[in-house]
Amino acid sequence: MGASSKTENDKTPKRVRMAPDERRGHILDAAQKLFFARGWDDVTIAEVLSAAKISKGGFYHHFSAKEDLLDGVVERFTIQALTAAQTARDATSGNALQRFNAFLAESSRWKAEQGRKMKFFIEVMLRPGNDILFDRITTAANAAAMPVLLEMIGQGVDEGIFDIPDIDLVGETIMGLSRGRRTVLKEAFDAAEQGDLDRATECLDRRMVAEAALIDRVLGLPRGSVLLSNPTEYRLMLRAIVND
Amino acid sequence: MGASSKTENDKTPKRVRMAPDERRGHILDAAQKLFFARGWDDVTIAEVLSAAKISKGGFYHHFSAKEDLLDGVVERFTIQALTAAQTARDATSGNALQRFNAFLAESSRWKAEQGRKMKFFIEVMLRPGNDILFDRITTAANAAAMPVLLEMIGQGVDEGIFDIPDIDLVGETIMGLSRGRRTVLKEAFDAAEQGDLDRATECLDRRMVAEAALIDRVLGLPRGSVLLSNPTEYRLMLRAIVND
DNA sequence: TCTACATACCGACCATCGGTCTGTAGGGTT
DNA sequence: AACCCTACAGACCGATGGTCGGTATGTAGA
């Protein structure tokens, strides 16, 4: 083959053709990384293009708009969150309270894992401008987990263990609390960055204890029924984050 | 002044010069109207310009960016919310629960008034894309009202009336609930638009009753202590909205 | 009242960004 | 080999937020 100029010297073939799903995945990977690092509005299509090594035409062959990219990223998270929630539900048995506690534990474990995997995730979601991104992800993830949660609460009501004024409000309250953790996370993160891991851990832990006490009330349970705190888990997460 | 050509024929003086505050106010008026009607991202600077009857250069003399406009609008609301909250606090006396109820009543009255004044307000804030605007306003308004709320709750704790796990969480929970009303508002609004005012009212009322029951729990109060429902108020608001 | 200075204001211009369109490469099928 | 389908390239476009040099409208001091 007298084509050394073809087989070897061509370091960059003009076109790399991929299966749609694969290409889509690559683009989403690049976009996700950028979005988490700097927020959705700040990142331009051009940047995603060069990060994903594809042309504009190629991109718009797979995505209809920039908004579509956001949807794609959010969708990934939703799917992950959903399967995680279902796994947690299916893996546990016993009465509603036991299942509920197991579910909360798994849920916070999953969140901590996300925080560990993506260095910027927590740091970034605390910055204004990323509200949209963060809000959409948490909303979608919560929405995915909500049916599972409500099912368990329903079971608790049927069993006569829980006593609640309105089932929708319970779900909402829990979602609201989880959203409000943003502030505490920021505080803990700042402390961790200054090397004060103890204070950071204690900060998160106190919050979780308080949340648990509040959920006790909301579900009409005696104090100490709901378990939400897991200091070692926080420690791991914070350590992973701080170590770049 | 023999200058008929000056005093009368000049229909449009080339420049209208105003005091900075006045001009700023005019621009904000125009911007607010447009934002509420169609959302922040949809409205272009050019539209604000023509609505406020000012040139681009003039505009950028008073505002540094489009974002600045949002800040201005939000700031107005914050101030209004703050004074409303303070008024409500100062106007009431009695024990913490009485003051708390009075405060809630005033607060919801104020919100209803806003909904009445601005036709599009509710309709618009339910549309995606206006999340940012709505979120920023509610967040700012809530943040303004929060100290007042916490002060009252603190009083209740001191008086031994309230029994709470963590004061910050209480504020957060209440704020979260108020944010979650969006969904219910949408439902009620849709019902009202179809002429079913009864269903709309009932929808809001049920929500408020449930919320009150939940807050009872959170504050460690016997059921029925917190009063949040005011059907006639909703009726007025919904009627005003539906009648264009 | 003339001059000098400050500032509110104008509008043409610019850079950038999301999105479109025409054309092309490359793998599979016949 | 001829063909087609489609993943892909990149020039191009319209809109939009923002800038800049210049102009009108005051006001303070001589």
Give the per-residue pLDDT at B38. Answer: 80
How does pLDDT run across A101-130, given as a tens digit for each residue? 888 888 777 777 776 666 555 555 555 556
Confidence band of A90 (pLDDT split at 50, 70, 90)? confident
Q: Is B214 on the interface with A (CB under 8 A)?
A: yes
Contacts of B202 (CB under 8 A, 6+ apart): none
Rg (CA), chain A: 22
Q: Which amino acid is at A82?
A: L
In contact, A125 and A134? CB cutoff 8 Å: yes
Instruction: Determine whether the distance from the CB of A62 to the nearest atom of strand D is below 7 Å.
Output: yes
Average pLDDT of B56-66?
Answer: 93
Percent of chain B with pLDDT over 70: 85
**What is the CA angle A174-A178-A180, rounded to 5?**
115
Percent of chain A with pLDDT over 90: 24
Structure tokens at B200: 């709309």
Spatial separation of the C-alpha atoms in residues A243 and A239, rounded to whole Å: 6
Average pLDDT of B187-204?
Answer: 86
Residue A6 has pLDDT above 50, yes or no: no
CA of B36 to C1' of C12 (A): 31
Average pLDDT of B188-213?
Answer: 87
Confidence band of B117 (pLDDT split at 50, 70, 90)? low
Residue A173 has pLDDT above 60, yes or no: yes
Higher pLDDT: B6 or A234? It is A234
Average pLDDT of B50-69?
Answer: 92
* Lowest-confidence segment of A101-115, A163-177, A195-209, B164-178 by average pLDDT: A101-115
Instruction: Determine whether the distance from the CB of A11 to the nearest atom of strand D is below 7 Å.
Output: no
Confidence band of A1 (pLDDT split at 50, 70, 90)? very low
Confidence band of A13 (pLDDT split at 50, 70, 90)? low
H or E element in which residue A108 lies: helix A96-117
Q: What are phi and psi of B127, to 5 degrees?
A: -80, 140
The per-residue pLDDT of chain B, averaged, comes to 81
Nucleotides of C under 7 A from a protein CB: 7-13, 16-23, 25-27
Average pLDDT of A66-91?
Answer: 83
Structure tokens at A55: 């042309």
Instruction: Determine whether the distance from the CB of A65 to the nearest atom of strand C is below 7 Å.
Output: yes
* Lowest-confidence segment of A83-97, A125-139, A176-190 by average pLDDT: A125-139
Question: Concatenated DSSP letters for chain B?
Answer: ---HHHHTS-SS-S-----HHHHHHHHHHHHHHHHHHH-TTTS-HHHHHHHHT--HHHHHHH-SSHHHHHHHHHHHHHHHHHHHHHHHHHH--SSHHHHHHHHHHHHHHHHHHHHHH-HHHHHHHTSTT-HHHHHHHHHHHHHHHHHHHHHHHHHHHHHT----S-HHHHHHHHHHHHHHHHHHHHHHHHHHHTT-HHHHHHHHHHHHHHHHHHHHHHHT--TT-S----HHHHHHHHHHHHT-
In contact, A39 and A129? CB cutoff 8 Å: yes
Residues of A in contact with B220 (CB under 8 A): 217
pTM, two decimal places: 0.72
Give the per-residue pLDDT at B97. Answer: 92
- Highest mean pLDDT range out of B32-41, B92-101, B180-189? B92-101
The per-residue pLDDT of chain A, averaged, comes to 81
